[in-house]
Amino acid sequence: MTADGQPASPPHAAPKLARRLGLFDATMLVMGGIVGAGIFMNPYVVAQQVHTPALILGAWIAGGGVALLGAFIYAELAARLPEVGGQYAYLREALHPALGFLYGWVLLLVIQTGGMAAVTVTFARYFRELTGKRAPEGAIVLVTLAVLTLVNCLGVKLGSRVQSALMVAKAGAIVVLVAAGLWLVRQPASLGGPLLDRPPSWDLVTAFGAAMVPVLFAYGGWQTANFVAAEITEPRRNLSRALLIGVAGVIALYVGVNVACVRGLGAAGLAHSTAPASDLMRLALGGAGARFLALGIAVSTVGFLSQSVLTAPRVYFAMAEDGLFFRAVARVSARTRVPVTAIVLQSVWTAVIALSGRYDQILNYVVSMDFLFFGLTASCLFVFRRRGEGERGYRVPGHPVTTILFIAACWSVVANAIYRYPGNTLLGMAILALGVPVYLLWERRRKKESLVQ
């Protein structure tokens, strides 16, 4: 046995990932993968689409319901197949290795790194504002990514502790924001009034659908905790619980923020505020409140980055282990038991995107690809149940109806993106399609290597 209670590796055996994360760590990973800077900005985007308190709050509650359905589904998938790579492994085993590869392909090229690049730049701007430093934005981006990369290369437990501390801090900032909006605004707006802002019609349906896009984007990220299933103790029990507890906690935080924003700013005021959380804190506590909120956003962004650096590289590691990516990416440090090359690779590509200034364009088509794969991954549950694979610990309540509802919700987001932003969506699909010949090349190489061996 090793000093931390892990089975010792046989002499000359390649080091493996170590199970060092418990229920609390996994729960903080779930919440940290969801809560970024979006909740501080997205409320006004929703209020621009629908204009009554009932519709605004209804969109956030409905989005929370979709996220909870996703948590139910991913909890059962985690119980049935608690393997490194999470979503990649489910697609590979249930549908086809090519679909797993394509998910990892777009995750590395655009979904994860594009989002991380945007968040890193956001952190750099708030850091300069808070500190008054005149350091170049690019330099702050590079230093931030380098520090988080180093922390996570030193071990999954250290990376998890840093991420958990940041998640607790940003949850505290959100609680202060909610409390300020509910009790410190002198002339709060009413949460009552008419339910609808227009007669029931197709126009109302499409407007509510458009409002749901930023909501679902803000709720996304619960799935990233599944990437580290191989490093969670008793993953069939702990990961399933963490998904449900974590998503429920985020729903409470998000709905609370929007109740506070609507009460403090009013539905119309919220729609006209591009920085609603900052405006709310300024209204409640003056300049000191706005500065506190800026600090909260900075902590939230770096917390999201910390979680991303910890979790997503496990997908590229799993691809490399399967022979579908560079072998070096599958190497695990003998000392820290983490995939150092995979972590560094993701951070380097994130820095390239951030410094190129192309992250805004990438974010325009991230949503459609992300939700396309959410739906595909949920469909894996039908395959696993039909085959009778995996342990039957946790089961999705209301399956197959609830699973079909989740898939329909995900693919309706994709359809809406194609309808409203055809150019951006088609560009994203083109990047996805480029992964097909790349997969075929890696698959051919893998087969040749297996013949040689």
Report pLDDT digits (tens) over 131-186: 887 889 999 999 999 999 999 999 999 999 999 999 999 999 999 999 999 998 88
Taking only the tens place, the pLDDT of each residue in 378-429 is 999 999 999 887 666 678 999 999 999 999 999 988 887 787 778 777 888 8
Distance (Å, whole) CA 10 – CA 328 = 21
d(Cα 8, Cα 13) in Å, to the nearest integer?
A: 10
Residue 261 pLDDT: 94
pLDDT computed for residue 108 by the predictor: 94
Contact 315, 104 (CB under 8 A): yes
User: Residue 231 carries which DSSP code?
Assistant: G
Tokens 């046995």 locate to: 1
Distance (Å, rounded) from C-alpha 162 to C-alpha 352? 25
Q: 3-state secondary structure string, 277-331?
A: HHHHHHHHHHHHHHHHHHHHHHHHHHHHHHHHHHHCHHHHHHHHHCCCCCHHHHC
- pLDDT tens-place string over residues 318-333: 999 999 999 999 999 9
DSSP letter assigned to residue 232: B
Query: Phi and psi (nearest 5°) for 232?
Result: -105, 135
At residue 27 the predicted structure's pLDDT band, cuts being 50, 70 and 90, is very high
CA distances 135 to 68, 120, 271, Å, are 41, 15, 34
Q: Tell me how far apart the alpha carbons of residues 182 and 170 are, in angstroms, rounded to a whole number.
A: 18
Going from the N-terminus, what domains does the chain have, and what CATH number goes with each? Answer: 23-389+401-446 (1.20.1740.10)
| Residues counted in the chain | 453
Q: Compute CA distances 123 → 55, 140, 171, whole Å.
A: 31, 9, 17
Cα–Cα dist 247/269, whole Å? 29
Residue range 94-112: mean pLDDT, rounded: 94
Provide the CA 203 distance to its chain's centre, in angstroms: 30
Sign of CA dihedral 131, 134, 138, 140: negative
For residues 322 and 230, give the distance between their C-alpha atoms in angstroms, rounded to a whole number. 15
DSSP-assigned states of every residue in 104-136: HHHIIIIIHHHHHHHHHHHHHHHHHHHH-----
pLDDT of residue 427: 84
Higher-pLDDT residue of 360 and 152 is 152
Each residue of 192-250: pLDDT tens digit?
A: 888 888 888 888 988 898 888 889 888 988 899 999 999 999 988 899 999 999 999 99
pTM here? 0.90
For 22-26, the CB contacts below 8 A with 24+ separation are 22/232, 22/233, 22/238, 23/238, 23/241, 23/242, 24/164, 25/160, 25/164, 25/232, 26/225, 26/228, 26/232, 26/238, 26/239, 26/241, 26/242, 26/246
